[in-house]
A and B are shown apart, each in its own frame.
Chain A
Amino acid sequence: MRYWVLAALSVLMVAVETTVIPYISVSGIGPDIVGSFVALVSMLNGRQDGLFVAVAAGFMEDMSSGQFLGLFTVVRLVIGYLAGACYQKVFQEWVLVPMVLVFVTGFVSGCLHVFLLASFGVPFGSYQVVLGAVIFQAAYSALLSPFLMRATCSIDGYVRRISGHRKSL
């Protein structure tokens, strides 16, 4: 049940990212909602769930993009792995924790994304422009992370109630 819910949420996040996010993007840069979701699930439920969401969401993003297949999956896997290190080690209820986590993982994933694309011949502007965009994206994602965290925790509680499962989600 947990994994079905996680897979469905991953599909929903990808659909939201490709349709709704362009409307709230600033100068073409929008928040990385899928990356934030992967990081939060990994922090809340551990690496196993985080990597599952990373693969499910990354796969859907790659299929939706149709270019550089595997790129999103690699980036999401790295986020899931890194955020998994925080599992049961940080005080999750404090609002700054998800924000800092999403900012750090967003920055790392942005840099990795750009590095991989540049390695495969996609032209980019000067490094200041790219770095500015990566930081802006990470900060934007971090600002939205408390809302996403709250939504994730609510769904988590609901799933636990209906499945009688002890572990979250």
Chain B
Amino acid sequence: MQHESRRKTYAVLLALAALALIAVIYITSGERDRLTPVEYVVREILAPVQTGLFRIASWVNGSVRTLASLSLNVRENHALKQEVARLTAENVYLEEQRLENIRLRRLLDFEEKAPHKTLAAEAIARDPGNWLNTVTLNKGTGHGVKKDMAVVSCEGLLGRVVSASSSTANVLLIIDPRSAVGGVVQRTRSLVLVEGDPETPGMCLVKCLTMESDLVTGDKILSSGLGGIYPKGLIIGEIVELIPGKYGVGSAARLKPAADFARLEEALIILEPSSSRDMPLSEEEADMR
């Protein structure tokens, strides 16, 4: 009897708690400008634990991978030595071209493109579930990080900051279905929209913004800079598969992001995009379209 009554109490309490929590989920389902004080404190407490564990996991993973690839290293070393020799020669040639380019730009009175002002950060945690693609970085508002700052890796665009505490920042990755990035096809300069692909985890969908699009496999997509969040010219990825639209009208494509999200460890937060890169498409580029 007592057991039955306790079971009923649990069920009622659970139902009430679930209803209250669903209301909280609804309230916090949209994007928020700032974290609640409780979230702020908990994240600050969790950050050192996550940093320590992430470093250990990263070290173990690195060691295992190194051991596994030991047999390949000898062959790879030989090939790399040849590659280094070739690249050294090429580098000298490119350096000459770069210096010539600088001289010509100065002659034409062009503003030199300054690199973006960035902040290096370490990825210390992933979203606890498997359904949302966010990552926590170990730099926050205390380091000058703000909401909607773009985040890149050395390979390409990663995403944007959606919330930040004093020492952590949550980044919505471009592979998340809620993410949308304005892009431009490098070959044709056509404007496209790059969204996270809900069908294929880790991939993106490219949607054309114009009727006459001629996407082909291998096309590189760069950020257009038109959305106001992502600076212009950052590499997003490469088209790997074309998806024909209904009745053959319109087209989309599947994009493989340039950045490796599965093994994400370091990232650069763009604190201040350079003014020249940040400009929207120039008239010349618009004419080309």
Residues of A within 8 A of B (CB): 11-12, 14-23, 25, 27-30, 32, 34, 47, 51, 59-61, 63-74, 77-78, 81, 84, 113-114, 116-117, 120-126, 129, 133, 137
Q: Is the CB of A74 within 8 A of B18?
A: yes
Q: Is the CB of A29 within 8 A of B18?
A: no
Specify the main secondary structure of chain A where it touches its partner: helix
Q: Which residue of B lies closest to A55 (CB)?
A: B17
User: Contacts A19-B53, A72-B129; is A66 near B43 (CB within 8 Å)?
Assistant: yes
Q: Looking at the complex, which one of A27, A32, A65 makes contact with B134 (CB distance below 8 Å)?
A: A65
Which residues of chain A have C-beta atoms less than 8 A from B61's C-beta?
Answer: 23
Q: Is the CB of B202 within 8 A of A70?
A: no
Q: Is the CB of A120 within 8 A of B26?
A: yes
Size of the chain B interface, CB-CB below 8 angstroms: 54
User: Contacts A27-B201, A129-B199; is A74 near B22 (CB within 8 Å)?
Assistant: yes
Q: Which residue of A lies closest to B128 (CB)?
A: A61
A114 to B198, CA, bound (A): 12
Q: Is the CB of B129 within 8 A of A77?
A: no
User: Contacts A47-B10, A51-B10, A64-B136; is A77 near B17 (CB within 8 Å)?
Assistant: yes
Q: Which residue of B lies closest to A22 (CB)?
A: B126
A74 to B39, CA, bound (A): 17
Give the contacts of B130-176 with A (CB-CB under 8 A): 130-134, 136, 162-163, 170
Q: Looking at the complex, which one of A20, A121, A125 makes contact with B53 (CB distance below 8 Å)?
A: A20
Q: Looking at the complex, which one of B20, B125, B131, B132 makes contact with A19 (CB distance below 8 Å)?
A: B125
Q: Is the CB of A34 within 8 A of B128?
A: yes
Q: Looking at the complex, which one of B17, B26, B43, B202 makes contact with A63 (CB distance below 8 Å)?
A: B43
Q: Is the CB of A125 within 8 A of B198?
A: yes
A51 to B16, CA, bound (A): 14
Q: List 18 A-B contacts (CB under 8 A).
A: A12-B49, A15-B46, A15-B50, A16-B53, A18-B128, A25-B130, A34-B128, A47-B10, A61-B128, A61-B129, A63-B43, A64-B43, A69-B28, A69-B39, A72-B129, A74-B17, A114-B131, A124-B131
User: Contacts A68-B29, A123-B177, A125-B198; is A133 near B134 (CB within 8 Å)?
Assistant: no
Q: Looking at the complex, which one of B10, B126, B178 makes contact with A18 (CB distance below 8 Å)?
A: B126
Q: Is the CB of B132 within 8 A of A120?
A: no
Which residues of chain A have C-beta atoms less than 8 A from B89's C-beta?
Answer: none
Indicate if B107 sits at the interface (CB-CB under 8 A). Answer: no
B77, chain A: closest CB distance, angstroms: 26
Beyond the given A63-B39, A81-B11, could you list 4 further A-B residue pairs with CB under 8 A, ordered by the A residue number?
A: A15-B50, A18-B136, A69-B27, A71-B25
Which residues of chain A have C-beta atoms less than 8 A from B125's C-beta?
Answer: 15, 18-19, 64
Indicate if B120 sits at the interface (CB-CB under 8 A). Answer: no
Q: Is the CB of A65 within 8 A of B127?
A: yes
Q: Is the CB of B49 within 8 A of A120?
A: no
Would you give the 0/1 interface string for B188-229, flagging 1 where the beta carbon is closer than 8 Å to chain A?
000000000111111000000000000000000000000000
Q: Is the CB of B46 within 8 A of A117?
A: no
Give the contacts of B1-59 with A (CB-CB under 8 A): 10-11, 14, 17-18, 20-22, 24-29, 35-36, 38-39, 42-43, 46, 49-50, 53-54, 56-58
Indicate if B235 sits at the interface (CB-CB under 8 A). Answer: no
A158, chain B: closest CB distance, angstroms: 21
Q: Is the CB of A18 within 8 A of B50?
A: yes
Which residues of chain A have C-beta atoms less than 8 A from B58's C-beta?
Answer: 23
